[in-house]
C-alpha cells in the first residue's frame, strides 16, 4: 500500500526504492544507538542520489529541490533515516549560490562522486540557540588565513564529514549597526585540523550529533564564502531548503508508520472483528492521513516556489510545521494502534516515533515558526 504520493515522480521514487530497500528494519535497528550508516550512505552516493543537487557541469545530477525532497521522502517511507545524509543537500545551497567558481571547482566534483562529504553545518551555539545573530564563535584574519575560536553544538555528522560550512563572527555583535551584519560563512576541509575537537552527544534517536570546539584553529584565507560580514544572508536560502526537505522526510515518516498501522489494524482481530473497525483506532489514523495529505500539498508548493526562485519563506516554514505535526500525529496513532507491540523494537514503530519527534524542535522549533507567520505574514506585533 502506497499512501500520499505524487505521481509526477514515479521513476525517481522507484530508483530510490531500489537502493533503500536493501536496507531493511534490521539494518537500521542494528545501528542503534549511535553507529553511522556507512553502507547506506555509500550506496546512495554510488547511485548518484547524494550528489543529486550538484549541477551537471560539476558532475552531479542537476536535480531540483522538489526532486531532492522526493529522494528524502522515499528514504523515510522505506523505514530508513535520511538524517545521515540530508545535510549535504541543504548545506550545498550556500556554496552553489555564494561560493566562488574556484571553490565550486575545488569541492563540488568530489561531493558529486562521493570522495568528499559535506555534512557538517556549524551554526548553532550553546548560548545562542535559535538566535543565530548572537553567535560568539570568532574568526580573525591572520597571516595564514583565519583563526577560529569558539564552540558549536548540534553539529550533526561532524565526525563523518570531510568539509564544514561554518558561520562565525568576523565583527563582534556590539560593533555592528544591524545585528545580522558582521557574520561570515566559511567552507574548509575539517580533517586533521589542529585545535579542532569533536565530541559526540548521545540522544534519544540515532542522529550522530556532536559539539565542536575551535581552539585557535587556522583555516585558509580562501575559505571565506562571498563577502566578509554577509554570511548570515548567505545561509537563509539554505534554511528555506532545509525546512522543505525536513517536511518531505516527515511526510515519509508519516507514510511509513501509517501504512504499518493500517496493515496491523486490518490483520489483527479483537472481540471478533478487525482492530481497525473500532473508531478509536480508525479515526486517529484517518485524521493523521488527512493531516499528511494537507502537509504534502504545502510541501510541494514550497518546493515549486523555491525551484522557481520565488520567495518561499512562509510556505517553507508552513510545510515544515504542518508535516512535523502530521508525522507526529501519525506516529502516535500508529503506536496506539499497535498497543504493546508498538513498543517492541522489531516493529520499528518506536524507532520512527523517536526519529520523527525531533522535527517539531529542529531545525527550528515550531513555536518560532508560528511566531514568524504571526509577525511576517499576519502582521502581528513582534513577540521575540
Question: pLDDT digit string (tens) for 229-276?
Answer: 999 999 987 899 999 999 999 999 999 999 999 999 999 999 999 999
Q: Assign residue 77 the CATH number of its domain.
A: 1.10.540.10
Domain shared by 243 and 357, yes or no: yes
Q: Assign residue 289 the CATH number of its domain.
A: 1.20.140.10
Q: Is 140 part of any domain? A: yes
Domain shared by 271 and 371, yes or no: yes
Q: Is 71 part of any domain? A: yes
DSSP collapsed to 3 states, the chain = CCCCCCHHHHHHHHHHHHHHCCCCHHHHHHCCCCCCCHHHHHHHHHCCCCCCCCCHHHCCCCCCHHHHHHHHHHHHHCCCCHHHCHHHHHHHHHHHHHCCHHHHHHHHHHHHHCCCCEEEEECCCCCCCCCHHHCCCEEEEECCEEEEEEEEECCCCHHHCCEEEEEEECCCHHHCCCCCCCEEEEEEECCCCCCEEEEECCCCCCCCCEEEEEEEEEECHHHEECCCCEHHHHHHHHHHHHHHHHHHHHHHHHHHHHHHHHHHHHHCEECCEEHHHCHHHHHHHHHHHHHHHHHHHHHHHHHHHHHCCCCCHHHHHHHHHHHHHHHHHHHHHHHHHHHHHHHCHHHCHHHHHHHHHHHHCCCCCHHHHHHHHHHHHCCCCCCC
Domain shared by 205 and 292, yes or no: no
Boundary residue ending a domain (228, 250, 265): 228
Domain shared by 274 and 147, yes or no: no
Q: Is 382 part of any domain? A: no
Domain shared by 200 and 242, yes or no: no
Domain shared by 63 and 129, yes or no: no
Domain shared by 373 and 238, yes or no: yes
Q: Assign residue 146 the CATH number of its domain.
A: 2.40.110.10
Boundary residue ending a domain (113, 140, 160): 113
pLDDT, position 240? 93
Domain shared by 148 and 105, yes or no: no
Contact between 258 and 221 (Cβ < 8 Å): no
Domain count, the chain: 3
Q: Is 383 part of any domain? A: no
pLDDT, position 248? 97
The CA distance from 99 to 111, in Å, is 15
pLDDT, position 130? 84
The CA distance from 24 to 78, in Å, is 8
The CA distance from 47 to 181, in Å, is 40
Q: Is 108 part of any domain? A: yes
Domain shared by 271 and 360, yes or no: yes
Span 71-124, pLDDT tens digits: 999 999 999 999 988 888 888 889 999 999 999 999 999 999 999 999 999 999
Domain shared by 95 and 127, yes or no: no
Boundary residue ending a domain (47, 82, 113): 113
Q: Is 213 part of any domain? A: yes
Domain shared by 100 and 162, yes or no: no
> Which range of residues forms the domain containing residue 149?
118-228
Q: pLDDT tens digits for the chain (384 residues)?
A: 566 656 679 999 999 999 999 999 999 999 999 999 999 999 999 999 999 999 999 999 999 999 999 999 999 999 999 998 888 888 888 999 999 999 999 999 999 999 999 999 999 999 998 889 999 999 999 999 999 999 999 999 999 999 999 999 999 999 999 999 999 999 999 999 999 999 999 999 999 999 999 999 999 999 999 999 999 999 987 899 999 999 999 999 999 999 999 999 999 999 999 999 999 999 999 999 999 999 999 999 999 999 999 999 999 999 999 999 999 999 999 999 999 999 999 999 999 999 999 999 999 999 999 999 999 999 999 987
Q: Is 315 part of any domain? A: yes
Domain shared by 242 and 373, yes or no: yes
- pTM to 2 decimals? 0.95
The CA distance from 330 to 317, in Å, is 20
Q: Is 21 part of any domain? A: yes
Amino acid at each position: 500500500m502506497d499512501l500520499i504520493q505524487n505521481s509526477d515522480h514515479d521513476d525517481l521514487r522507484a530508483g530510490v526504492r531500489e537502493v533503500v530497500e536493501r536496507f531493511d528494519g534490521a539494518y537500521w535497528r542494528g545501528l542503534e544507538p549511535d553507529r553511522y550508516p556507512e553502507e547506506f550512505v555509500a550506496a546512495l552516493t554510488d547511485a548518484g542520489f547524494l550528489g543529486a543537487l550538484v549541477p551537471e557541469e560539476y558532475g552531479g545530477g542537476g536535480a531540483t529541490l522538489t526532486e531532492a525532497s522526493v529522494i528524502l521522502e522515499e528514504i523515510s517511507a522505506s523505514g530508513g533515516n535520511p538524517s545521515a545524509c540530508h545535510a549535504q543537500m541543504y548545506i550545498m545551497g550556500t556554496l552553489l549560490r555564494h561560493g566562488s567558481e574556484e571553490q565550486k571547482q575545488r569541492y563540488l566534483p568530489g561531493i558529486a562522486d562521493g570522495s568528499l562529504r559535506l555534512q557538517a553545518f556549524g551554526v548553532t551555539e550553546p548560548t545562542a540557540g535559535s538566535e543565530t545573530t548572537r553567535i560568539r564563535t570568532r574568526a580573525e584574519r591572520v597571516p595564514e588565513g583565519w583563526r577560529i575560536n569558539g564552540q558549536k553544538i548540534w553539529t550533526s555528522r561532524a565526525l563523518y564529514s570531510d568539509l564544514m560550512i561554518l558561520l562565525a563572527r568576523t565583527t563582534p555583535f556590539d560593533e555592528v549597526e544591524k545585528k545580522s551584519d558582521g557574520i561570515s560563512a566559511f567552507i574548509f576541509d575539517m580533517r586533521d585540523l589542529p585545535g579542532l575537537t569533536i565530541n559526540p552527544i548521545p540522544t534519544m534517536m540515532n542522529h550522530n550529533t556532536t559539539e565542536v570546539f575551535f581552539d585557535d584553529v587556522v583555516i585558509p584565507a580562501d575559505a571565506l564564502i562571498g563577502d566578509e560580514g554577509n554570511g548570515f544572508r548567505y545561509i537563509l536560502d539554505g534554511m528555506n531548503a532545509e525546512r522543505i526537505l525536513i517536511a518531505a522526510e516527515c511526510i515519509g515518516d508519516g507514510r511509513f508508520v501509517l501504512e504499518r498501522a493500517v496493515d496491523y489494524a486490518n490483520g489483527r482481530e479483537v472481540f471478533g472483528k478487525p482492530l481497525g473497525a473500532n473508531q478509536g483506532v480508525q479515526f486517529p489514523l484517518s485524521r493523521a492521513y488527512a493531516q499528511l495529505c494537507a502537509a504534502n500539498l504545502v510541501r510541494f508548493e514550497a518546493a515549486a516556489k523555491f525551484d522557481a526562485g520565488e520567495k518561499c519563506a512562509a510556505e517553507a516554514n508552513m510545510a515544515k510545521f504542518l508535516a512535523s505535526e502530521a508525522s507526529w500525529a501519525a506516529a502516535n496513532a500508529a503506536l496506539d494502534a499497535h498497543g504493546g507491540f508498538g513498543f517492541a523494537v522489531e516493529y520499528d514503530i518506536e524507532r520512527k516515533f523517536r526519529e520523527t519527534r525531533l522535527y517539531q524542535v529542529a531545525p527550528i522549533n515550531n513555536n518560532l515558526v508560528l511566531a514568524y507567520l504571526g509577525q511576517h505574514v499576519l502582521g502581528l506585533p513582534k513577540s521575540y
